[in-house]
């Protein structure tokens, strides 16, 4: 993929040379065809620029958004090719060679290999979104196993963020299937890879504060994890604040639990999160009675 990006500079060069040639031709002899071609380029370029400036925090602009202008890009690329290649037979051979290399590396960059852990993670995430949990677990587990073998040989098949994401999704699926011991292992592995992975921190904190098996509960650790999750999200996530309240109660810090539950309710009201208001009000009754969450919670 890196090689294809570098080789794409040749394609960009053809486009820029063609653009300059088209502008020069248009200045000398205006032609409707080139007016349409350059108009399409300007229209889509301005549209993407406008969208980027209007919502710079929302990266929704994708390559295929410019597909309607692909014919115009090809025309300018062809114009650039026509300006360069006729000058020398060697230049034409070199350009053809580089273009074929670019096409080959681009194709190879997206070659789907079943033994590629990143492919398995992408497939697992897609399956989990489709609620196909059994196959999602199989794909994500396979990806982590491949990565584990690679690391044992001094290599790293997955980036830390990809590995952490796989562990986190596995933790969520297994937690939903009440396999909490395995879920705990995956949550720990997730933020071991990425210490500030707030969802894994929060979910593990909730398990340690509310698990039906009292022996699994660990109030002090739940507090540390929930506090870190809230700190990472700047105390703006209502769910995380509610988890912190439950963690305080499990640790016997009931005054802190009551105050934090009130903060969660205020945060939920500010965001009009009706369900979270009801949940935290119900849990607040336990904290006010100096009780942690009951085992059935």
pLDDT digits (tens, 9 = 90+) for 242-256: 999 999 999 999 999
Which residue in 196, 172, 198 sits closest to 183, CA to CA?
172
Q: What is the residue whose two structure tokens read 């592995």?
A: 189
Look at the pTM and tell me if it is higher than 0.75. no
CA distance 15 to 74: 8
Q: Which two tokens stand for residue 19?
A: 């653009």
Give the distance, in angstroms, between the CA of residue 291 and the centroid of all CA atoms in the same chain.
Answer: 39
Residue, of 1 and 290, whose pLDDT is higher: 290
CA distance 130 to 247: 32
Domain ranges of the chain: 2-109, 113-195, 197-297
> Would you say 287 and 254 are in contact if contact means Cβ atoms under 8 Å apart?
yes
- Whether the pLDDT of residue 295 is over 80: the answer is no
Give the distance, in angstroms, between the CA of residue 151 and the centroid of all CA atoms in the same chain.
Answer: 23
Q: Please say whether the dihedral angle defined by the alpha carbons of residues 142, 5, 50 and 68, taken in this order, is positive or negative.
A: negative
Mean pLDDT over residues 41-62, rounded?
75
The per-residue pLDDT for 156 is: 65
The per-residue pLDDT for 190 is: 92
Q: What is the residue whose two structure tokens read 């500030």?
A: 196
Percent of the chain with pLDDT over 70: 93
> Would you say 246 and 210 are in contact if contact means Cβ atoms under 8 Å apart?
yes
The per-residue pLDDT for 297 is: 44
CA distance 97 to 294: 70
Confidence of residue 25 (pLDDT cuts 50, 70, 90): confident
To 10 degrees, what angle do helices 32-54 and 70-84 make? 120
- pLDDT one-digit tens code per residue, 155-196: 766 777 888 888 999 999 999 888 889 999 999 999 888 888
> Would you say 75 and 18 are in contact if contact means Cβ atoms under 8 Å apart?
yes
Confidence of residue 263 (pLDDT cuts 50, 70, 90): very high
Measured between its terminal Cα atoms, the distance across the chain in Å is: 49
Q: Which parts of 5-72 are beta strand (E)?
A: none
**Of 48-52, 107-111, 130-134, 156-160, which gets the smallest average pLDDT?**
156-160
Which residue in 67, 108, 79 sits closest to 16, CA to CA?
79
CATH 3.40.190 is right for the domain spanning 113-195: no
CA distance 72 to 230: 50
Average pLDDT taken over every residue of the chain: 87
CA distance 205 to 248: 11
């Amino acid at each position: 993929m890196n090689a294809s990006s570098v080789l794409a500079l040749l394609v960009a060069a053809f486009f820029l040379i063609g653009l300059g040639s088209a502008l020069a031709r248009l200045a000398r002899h205006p032609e409707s065809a080139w007016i349409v071609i350059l108009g399409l380029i300007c229209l889509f370029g301005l549209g993407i620029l406008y969208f980027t400036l209007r919502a710079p925090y929302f990266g929704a602009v994708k390559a295929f958004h410019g597909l309607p202008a692909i014919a115009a890009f090809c025309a300018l690329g062809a114009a650039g090719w026509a300006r360069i290649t006729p000058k020398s037979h060697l230049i034409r051979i070199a350009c053809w060679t580089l273009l074929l290399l670019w096409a080959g590396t681009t194709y190879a960059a997206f070659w789907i290999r079943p033994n590629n852990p990143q492919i398995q993670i992408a497939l697992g995430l897609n399956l989990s979104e489709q609620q196909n949990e059994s196959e999602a677990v199989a794909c994500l587990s396979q990806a982590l196993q491949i990565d584990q073998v690679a690391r044992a040989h001094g290599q790293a098949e997955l980036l830390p963020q990809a590995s952490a994401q796989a562990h986190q999704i596995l933790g969520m699926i297994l937690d939903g299937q009440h396999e909490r011991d395995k879920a705990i292992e995956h949550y720990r592995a997730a933020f071991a890879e990425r210490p500030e992975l707030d969802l894994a921190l929060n979910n593990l904190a909730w398990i340690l504060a509310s698990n039906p098996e009292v022996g699994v509960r660990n109030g002090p650790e739940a507090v540390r994890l929930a506090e870190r999750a809230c700190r990472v999200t700047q105390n703006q996530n209502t769910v995380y604040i509610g988890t912190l309240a439950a963690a305080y109660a499990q640790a016997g810090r009931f005054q802190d639990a009551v105050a934090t539950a009130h903060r969660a309710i205020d945060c939920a009201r500010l965001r009009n999160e009706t369900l979270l208001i009801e949940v935290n009000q119900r849990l607040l009754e336990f904290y006010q009675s100096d009780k942690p969450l009951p085992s059935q919670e």
